[in-house]
């Protein structure tokens, strides 16, 4: 019921499908699966570890058949920090300690860091550095807070797709919704968990 409709969709038909069967398949089931054998394998494994091994092997075999540019793209995905290297990140925060900690951490990932202490400074920095890849936006700042700054950034068509991650000391669901509504792509509460930050940055930089 799942595989047949999947195979009929042009955009989905090439997705690898691995069947994990704990019992013998019936003849009708095997007939259906045989029609999908180019993108499908059947494994009867007895442990999660073995299933993981088989899945990894199968995906590696598929990767080997891909064109060179697609293989390179996958290799970048496997190397968790490749996507960060030499990317320009704008940190917007009026707390020097927070800025210094994030700057030191991200420069250690070979990122180029630029700084702004207010929303107004953030807009000026973006005008100066139009090649900025991602923004880390504090919310509570003087002159122009993060909400207003994000709204102003989104008004400019050239920054409509620029990833913005909001950073705030507040952790309520309503605060997250307010950040997203103002223009943030994602949200992290302070103190910033650097592992989560890197994961989010990778997600938005891979788009």
The pLDDT score that the predictor gives to residue 203 is: 83
State how far the alpha carbon of 143 is from the alpha carbons of 152, 159, 164, in Å.
Answer: 14, 22, 20
Kindly report the pTM of this predicted structure. Answer: 0.64
Q: Are 54 and 45 in contact (CB under 8 A)?
A: yes
Instruction: Answer whether residue 91 shows pLDDT above 80.
Output: yes
Least Cα distance to 182 among 198, 165, 195, 194 occurs for 165
Domain coordinates of the chain in residue numbers? 3-65, 82-205
The C-alpha atoms of residue 84 and residue 61 are separated, in whole angstroms, by 27
The pLDDT score that the predictor gives to residue 31 is: 74
Q: Which residue has the higher pLDDT, 29 or 167?
A: 167
- Please write the tens of the pLDDT for every residue from 118-152: 999 999 999 999 999 999 999 988 888 999 999 99
The pLDDT score that the predictor gives to residue 22 is: 67
Rounded to 10 deg, the angle between the 146-155 and 173-182 helix axes is 30
The pLDDT score that the predictor gives to residue 74 is: 58
Question: Is 32 exposed, middle or buried, given 0-12, 13-18 or 19+ CB atoms closer than 10 A?
Answer: middle
The pLDDT score that the predictor gives to residue 77 is: 55
Mean pLDDT over all residues of the chain? 81
User: Does the 82-205 domain belong in CATH 3.40.50.300?
Assistant: no
Confidence band for 61, pLDDT divided at 50, 70 and 90: low
The pLDDT score that the predictor gives to residue 175 is: 81
């Amino acid at each position: 019921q799942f595989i047949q409709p999947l195979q009929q969709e042009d955009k989905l038909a090439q997705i690898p499908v691995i069947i994990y069967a704990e019992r013998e398949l019936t003849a009708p089931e095997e007939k259906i699966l045989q029609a999908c054998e180019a993108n499908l394998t059947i494994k009867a494994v007895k442990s999660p570890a073995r299933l993981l091994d088989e899945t990894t092997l199968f995906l590696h075999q598929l990767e080997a058949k891909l064109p060179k540019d697609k293989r390179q793209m996958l290799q970048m995905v496997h190397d968790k920090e490749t996507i960060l290297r030499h990317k320009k990140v704008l940190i917007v925060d009026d707390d020097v300690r927070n800025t210094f900690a994030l700057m030191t951490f991200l420069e250690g990932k070979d990122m180029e860091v630029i700084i702004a202490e207010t929303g107004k400074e953030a807009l000026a920095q973006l005008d100066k550095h139009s090649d900025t890849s991602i923004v880390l936006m504090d919310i509570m700042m003087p002159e122009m807070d993060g909400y207003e700054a994000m709204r102003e950034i989104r008004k400019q068509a050239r920054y409509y797709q620029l990833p913005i991650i909001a950073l705030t000391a507040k952790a309520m669901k309503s605060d997250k919704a307010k950040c997203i509504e103002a223009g943030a792509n994602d949200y992290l509460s302070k103190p910033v968990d650097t592992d989560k930050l890197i994961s989010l940055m990778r997600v938005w930089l891979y788009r």
